[in-house]
Structure 1
């Protein structure tokens, strides 16, 4: 059964929802006042106890939509796992965990645990033994815990499948099916997905009870995402990426290729042209993937080259441009790709390179978006400047992380205290289990490495190096 399109219910106040006074007060404090379209359409249904299939992308406010539902179903006095959120990637699971923690502040003792691969099992098993109310994790790791008996689901009342299409793309169907079968039959299931591949219908049929459907048509504000198509010969497209970058000079660009090999080839071409570029591919270990994402997100790498599957779960703030090196055969994926730029109050460029054979695909995309494609010739582009496109920041890696009790404030203190740098010269600080990464203004990077290595962080001498390219 379908509910009205989400656009019709947008702009309504959170105060209208049947939430506890403490939760309402927390929303006020967090300045959550009016609901996004997906929240307004899905929250009344989820809070009424319905199972849900909701179409929503990263950045639409969907995390709060399911988090408020599962927090409402929660009994904080019962120390057992009552809600579980499955996410395709560790990055997304971390974001979701942080968001639920912010929303759960209305109650002192709600324990939320992230269970993802890429880190050792033992500390996670110990945390589960101490009890948790909500777990957020990736399908493989959640399945491992269920099989070992460290994760018990008999008290579970809410199961959330976040970015279900991405999980299916990554081959997790059987994992999700296994996990859902371990959950109590009488539970609420909320499924969120940006696109509707046929596997979604299969999942819904198997594991949801009379779900309500919420469809949110993905609309990009024309003023925010400026889309242009460039016709090039197929063999010239890799060189053409450099031409686009030199003309538009974006600080951060996500370049999409249809194959892993194309990604490798483009990376070589860009690096030869002097660009600071990195690639994301399925062959990277989790630690390497984390490093690539950290450097891109903190603006110390100009271009990230990726396939659609490798970029799953990726949500980067302030992305000035998306370049489609290949036009994707699926118009929904094209719309999804370009929706990563022009977020919040930012403007963004969506630039697509097309060989004559791609013209039909472009026509289908334009039809779906209800707009005329804007064609330009590469010859019309001026090289804005011959100066290389240099990212504003450099990432420093400090050996030592959460396991050494290092916090972002310790690193900021070392840089702005003894080392004498200003707060403005220091960018994003990311602490992982073993390492800490800090973005530093490029012109002081060498000096910062020297001063950090000579000084102390949290009373200890640390090893520091700059990550480049």
Structure 2
């Protein structure tokens, strides 16, 4: 990896041990402006901002229009979801009717609410068996979805939601399933294990949701998914949500879905609200370029992507040597540390997160307004998922790509496939493109004031 020359960099302070993913820079750079309150916003899928402009236009529906239980509506409004997003408008009434759904929508557009609201509405508290399963490809997404469902249903008088994933104690899950559970949110391997042990009884499940269906139906998971489906009743409802629609999803749909209602919001939503730039650099210049970006951008929170776990740890160490606090996360870390990093970053305890593509799937952190591809991805699908971490529904975001000579062909191919324009990075980036305060106030943000160092919030 490239190295950067830094003068007078103090010793690095680390948390519990090397693998916990939380690195802290001893020397904090001077800050002109305090950390934005946005870093501490609740993580919600649908913004309470207007759903026009940078997001997609809506039909003007209200959540009250869907005849939902009053207790469920209370939870929805307490989450800050004032009006349904486009995917929620399209999805909720169809899901309530019991029909199968295939929905294509970008991450950050309210997909979790689109399936959790009808799922929770249809739970019958008089029945003490598992009634719905939500399957997701990563442990972090399972935890996020379970937290959202618990929050939404907290006034419903006893809806029991359980998250179960690999990397956690199987005995704890077995004991939990000995009690009443209505909704299971799971990664495929763990739920299949519990089903085969006879612990998770799924023969009366009425609804199964597959979030990030393109990933769940890839070669990594498809055998497990088919096995799980075989244990379900024939008349179950299946809801598929996917940003992309590869052949694997088409084959599964043809085999298992009955006249599905198809929703496609991708063209309208794909990259709106996200301004994309590239910086042409050599490998040795990357860390220096990153340091320059940190000193000049007004970052609420940033996510920085590398293409390997080794490069994640090396870069995280470099960032702390530059004087910035930094978390990192990758699949080879112990699960308890992954959970802690995810939770603390989501709650705004650190400004920067370095990660692999583990973190691209459906993770919703609204304070993230800058995504940096330290290593440029190989394909358009990965690029779309990565930069979707910024510019969440109704918000602004900035995506910056560090491009070497080897990446230039991928850059051109991804621009063509996504029908988007990735421009050379200017000497000064207009803050109104990615900072909400500047956007709403109309400030020019063109660099007249002094460049702002980001302030660590740790």
Counterpart check, 1:335 vs 2:384: yes
Deviations 1:6-56 (A, max 9, x none): 967543222332545665566567665532110111222222221111123
Helix, strand or coil at the partner of 2:276: strand
Q: Of 157, 167, 171, which residue of structure 2 is paired with 1:118?
A: 167
Counterpart check, 1:375 vs 2:424: yes
Post-superposition shift, 1:190? 0.6
Contact 1:323 1:352 in 2 (8 A): yes
Contact 2:306 2:375 in 1 (8 A): yes
Change (3 A) 1:160 1:355: same
Q: Which residue of 2 aligns with 1:203?
A: 252
Q: Which residue of 2 aligns with 1:292?
A: 341
Post-superposition shift, 1:361? 3.1
Q: Which residue of 2 aligns with 1:87?
A: 136
Q: Which moved more, 1:154-163 or 1:89-98?
A: 89-98
Q: Which residue of 2 aligns with 1:97?
A: 146
Q: Which residue of 2 aligns with 1:48?
A: 97
Helix, strand or coil at the partner of 2:241: strand
Q: Which residue of 2 aligns with 1:17?
A: 66
Q: Of 94, 105, 111, which residue of structure 2 is paired with 1:62?
A: 111
Q: Which residue of 2 aligns with 1:167?
A: 216
Contact 2:361 2:385 in 1 (8 A): no
Contact 1:84 1:158 in 2 (8 A): yes
Deviations 1:115-166 (A, max 9, x none): 2233323332222222222111222221221122111112111111112234
Q: Of 200, 203, 219, which residue of structure 1 is paired with 2:269?
A: 219
Change (3 A) 1:347 1:212: closer
Q: Which residue of 2 aligns with 1:148?
A: 197
For 1:211 and 1:347, locate their aligned partners in 2 and report how far apart those are by CA, in whole Å.
Answer: 33
For 2:76 and 2:454, locate their aligned partners in 1 and report how far apart those are by CA, in whole Å.
Answer: 42
For 2:345 and 2:157, locate their aligned partners in 1 and report how far apart those are by CA, in whole Å.
Answer: 35
Post-superposition shift, 1:229? 1.4
Q: Of 391, 398, 411, which residue of structure 1 is paired with 2:456?
A: 391
Q: Which runs of 5+ in 2 are unaligned?
A: 1-54, 430-445
Q: Of 321, 328, 333, which residue of structure 1 is paired with 2:370?
A: 321
Q: Which residue of 1 aligns with 2:156?
A: 107
Q: Which runs of 5+ in 1 are unaligned?
A: 1-5, 394-469
For 1:300 and 1:71, locate their aligned partners in 2 and report how far apart those are by CA, in whole Å.
Answer: 31
Contact 2:297 2:452 in 1 (8 A): no
Q: Which moved more, 1:346-355 or 1:309-318?
A: 309-318
Contact 1:89 1:312 in 2 (8 A): yes
Q: Which residue of 2 aligns with 1:260?
A: 309
Specify which structure has the bigger relative contact order, considering alpha-carbon pairs within 8 angstroms and separated by 6 or more residues. Answer: 2
Contact 1:170 1:309 in 2 (8 A): no
For 1:269 and 1:47, locate their aligned partners in 2 and report how far apart those are by CA, in whole Å.
Answer: 50
Post-superposition shift, 1:191? 1.1
Helix, strand or coil at the partner of 1:320: strand
Post-superposition shift, 1:286? 0.2
Helix, strand or coil at the partner of 1:353: strand
Helix, strand or coil at the partner of 1:70: helix
Bigger-Rg structure (1/2) = 1
Q: Of 266, 286, 295, which residue of structure 2 is paired with 1:237?
A: 286
Equivalences, count: 386
Contact 2:119 2:132 in 1 (8 A): yes
Q: Which residue of 1 aligns with 2:87?
A: 38
Deviations 1:304-341 (A, max 9, x none): 22221354343323113111123223223323222211
Q: Which residue of 1 aligns with 2:237?
A: 188
For 1:254 and 1:169, locate their aligned partners in 2 and report how far apart those are by CA, in whole Å.
Answer: 25
After superposition, residues 402-413 of structure 1 pair within 5 angstroms as: none
For 1:389 and 1:45, locate their aligned partners in 2 and report how far apart those are by CA, in whole Å.
Answer: 45
Helix, strand or coil at the partner of 1:200: helix
Change (3 A) 1:49 1:275: same
For 1:131 and 1:300, locate their aligned partners in 2 and report how far apart those are by CA, in whole Å.
Answer: 35
For 2:154 and 2:359, locate their aligned partners in 1 and report how far apart those are by CA, in whole Å.
Answer: 33
Q: Which residue of 2 aligns with 1:410?
A: none
Helix, strand or coil at the partner of 1:322: strand
- Cα RMSD over matched residues? 3.3
Change (3 A) 1:194 1:329: same
Helix, strand or coil at the partner of 1:84: strand
Counterpart check, 1:279 vs 2:344: no
Contact 2:105 2:269 in 1 (8 A): no
